[in-house]
A and B are shown apart, each in its own frame.
Chain A
Amino acid sequence: MDGNLNALTTVFTEFYYWVTVVFMFLIHVGFCMYEVGASRARNHMHTLMKNIMIIPLVTVTFFFFGWWIYWAFPNFPFWGGLDTEAGAANLPWADTMATNLGDRITGVFWAAFLLFSWTAASIVSGSVIERIRSSALWVHAVLIGSVFWIIDAAWGWHYAGWMVRILGYHDAYASGVIHAIAGGYALGVIMVLGPRLGKFAKDGTPRDIPPHNPWLLTIGIFLIYTGFWGFYAACNVPVISPEAIDGQITGVTWTATNIYLAPTTLSAITFNFLMSLSGGLMAAYVVSKGDAFWTFSGGLAGIITASAGNDLYHPIQAMIIGAIGVVIVYKLHYWVERRFKLDDAVGAVAVHGYSGVVGLIIAGFVLWGVPSSPYEGYATINPIGQTAGAVIMFFVLGFMPGWIVAKMQAAAGVLRIPEEVELQGLDYAEHHAYEDAKAAIIEADKEELAARGVAAK
């Protein structure tokens, strides 16, 4: 770091991403609480462990190869070869992927992307609770968290990604690159996995399976909102000079940018985050007739729908787009449930997947003709590029891998838990030691109490 200004900018950027990572940890805490609150008491520990172990598994694989994919894949395989030069500094054996006084950014930037990876995996985890084998889910977690989402990020969430250059793809806060792909992946898995026992009556009518702890669920979703705010900040470059961007921007005015290095402000995304949250909450309350959980999820769906263009929208546009998205995904969720008999336990396919797709397409119209990138020769934002991008995210990189891998797991008999275990509860089957220990210590305490009672007399 030569020069005081350079040092200050570098350390500020390092600290900025570090703070966003800490905030984003709350997303995972929220997902864990939401899943445990939504599951029935007999599946608590299993549900919690299933989500907790996403953290280490996605972290180590993202270190080994996920981060390298982001830098090596922007044009691979259709528009060029692997970018081995950019990838070299992000290989697990590179000295920049370690304690290095000459590089203060790679670690925090890697971590910001990693937390997105946890989120992608955790979205899938919620939809499959109470009947998937943990071992099967953890393979899906690695695939969505350290392979497929980061391929889509290289293609559509990288300043030089081919989708940005050729399609004019614009997805500033990840409507598609996190939410549509994870929702699509979850849909592929639950199509093969099947519904929980009792979810559908014999005539095919869906039954509601109410959450066992609505308060845990409420706190969970509020933590997700909080973490999502950190996620928004993490999607920006906090401060950069036109010279460093090296694109078309002229003059000497420094700016914050989105991931494509196109200018925006933290002020803009703060307006739009809160207005799209509000539009989503209001619309969800009306469309669900005051259902608490759909209202909470609607807030999230509102943000996700507006996220693709929240770097540029006017706040009222963000509010209306969030509201429109929620109405569409709510109707679509119940239509799909009735028509295809699918059990999306926490509504993840709808809240993340459908919202992401709708948000991308809306952005194509509202931002039609606006430059997605500061670089010359890139396509501008347009409805066809955004719709093609939504298909790539939801179906090509999300649904198809999820469905194929789940089919392979089902054929090998390692996807779903046995029906007997599903009925008695996963905690009974897999955590019997905990239950036995609990019963033993309760019995011991009772004996102790009885003995003292006798002694006192």
Chain B
Amino acid sequence: MSTNGYTSWSVDLAEVGPVYPFQGYEVLMVIIGVVFWIGWHRIQFVREGEHLEKARHTGDEEKVKAQLERY
């Protein structure tokens, strides 16, 4: 058993193509990858929205002025 189909390197490399594991599952891997990517955006939108909502109520006027002066 081998996850990439090769159990030894006793082969002619001229006849070898892909050597990554789980060949045949490329589409599934892409789906998992895309879910990871889209999920990341979803988490980011939700978290940033919550953070900004909290942040808009925490500003102290004097401190904000000081920040403006600081440039």
Contact = CB atoms under 8 A, between A and B. Distances in A.
B10 A248 contact: yes
B19 A263 contact: yes
A306 B64 CA distance: 44
B45 interface: no
B21 A249 contact: no
A213 to B, nearest CB: 18
Interface in A313-339: 313-314, 316-317, 319-320, 323
Given A248-B8, A286-B43, A319 B13 contact: no
B19 A253 contact: no
Interface in B1-20: 1-4, 6-16, 19-20
B36 A253 contact: no
A289 interface: yes
A252 B15 CA distance: 11
B14 A367 contact: no
Interface string A282-325: 10011001100000000000000000000011101101100100
B9 A249 contact: yes
A368 B2 contact: yes
A226 interface: no
A314 B21 contact: yes
A206 interface: no
B30 interface: yes
B32 interface: yes
Contacts of A323: 36
A371 B6 contact: yes
Contact of B12 (A247, A250, A320, A376): A250
A279 B36 CA distance: 9
A370 B2 contact: yes
Residue from the set B8, B22, B44 with the largest chain A CB neighbour count within 10 Å: B8
Contacts of A370: 2-4, 6-7, 21
Which of B14, B16, B20, B47 has the most A CB atoms < 10 Å from its CB?
Answer: B20
Contacts of B21: 312-314, 317, 366-367, 370
A242 interface: yes
Minimum-distance CB pairs A-B, first 5: A251-B12, A369-B2, A248-B10, A253-B13, A314-B20
19 contacts: A249-B9, A249-B13, A251-B11, A251-B13, A253-B13, A263-B13, A263-B19, A312-B21, A314-B20, A316-B33, A317-B29, A320-B32, A367-B3, A367-B4, A368-B2, A369-B1, A370-B4, A370-B6, A376-B10
Interface of A: 242, 247-253, 255, 262-264, 279, 282, 285-286, 289-290, 312-314, 316-317, 319-320, 323, 366-371, 373-374, 376, 380
Interface of B: 1-4, 6-16, 19-22, 26, 29-30, 32-33, 36-37, 40, 43-44, 47
